[in-house]
Amino acid sequence: MFGFRNNSEKFQADHPPRVKISLIPMNGAEHHTSPEKRRYPRYEIDTELHVTILGLEQPSTMRGRSLNIGEAGIAGVFVTVWGIGVPVHLEFTVPVMSSPVRVRGIVRSQSGYRYGFEFVDLNPAQREVISKTCRTLALLE
């Protein structure tokens, strides 16, 4: 009708790609090739994530979904706007415990609705639960 033809095969043969594209499966640890490499791998986790901003007169808790977790932090999706560096209280469930994990954190990154939180001031018990969670999720890959 419009006279369009699919010449993509000929174009690809005449114009080899300049950039190599690698696909990373979403069910595994995140790997970054940027100069800013993560200290710990990330593992996919899908659970409810509650975030409360600290230091407000009337704190309110926002509910979102977690995307991934590592020994240093957790990422999630929220329909809200927070600034980078904001101190928070995080609450989420993990497969190695029946009760929720409750830790302090800080907003470290934001991209669209995706937020990255760094864990702050973990006590040894909290650190062990998060470490055990990461080890368990690594086995499930």
- Please give the Cα distance from 83 to 4 (Å, whole number): 47
Q: Is residue 12 part of a domain?
A: no
Which of 33, 34, 29, 61 is closest to 48 using CA atoms?
A: 61
Q: Is residue 2 part of a domain?
A: no
CATH number at residue 134: 2.40.10.220
Q: Is residue 34 part of a domain?
A: no
Tokens linked to 71: 């020994």
Tokens linked to 140: 């499930």
DSSP H helices, 6-72, are 8-14
pLDDT per residue of the chain (141 residues) written in tens, 0 to 9: 434 344 444 444 444 444 333 333 343 444 434 445 668 899 999 999 999 999 888 888 999 999 999 999 999 999 999 999 999 999 999 999 999 999 999 999 999 999 999 999 999 999 999 999 999 999 987
Q: By residue range, what is the domain housing residue 63?
A: 43-139
Backbone angles phi and psi of 125, in degrees to 5: -65, -45
Q: Is residue 6 part of a domain?
A: no
Q: Is residue 18 part of a domain?
A: no
Q: Is residue 19 part of a domain?
A: no
Element (H, E) at 126: helix 124-139
Q: Is residue 71 part of a domain?
A: yes
Give the predicted TM-score (pTM) of the model: 0.73
Total domains in the chain come to: 1
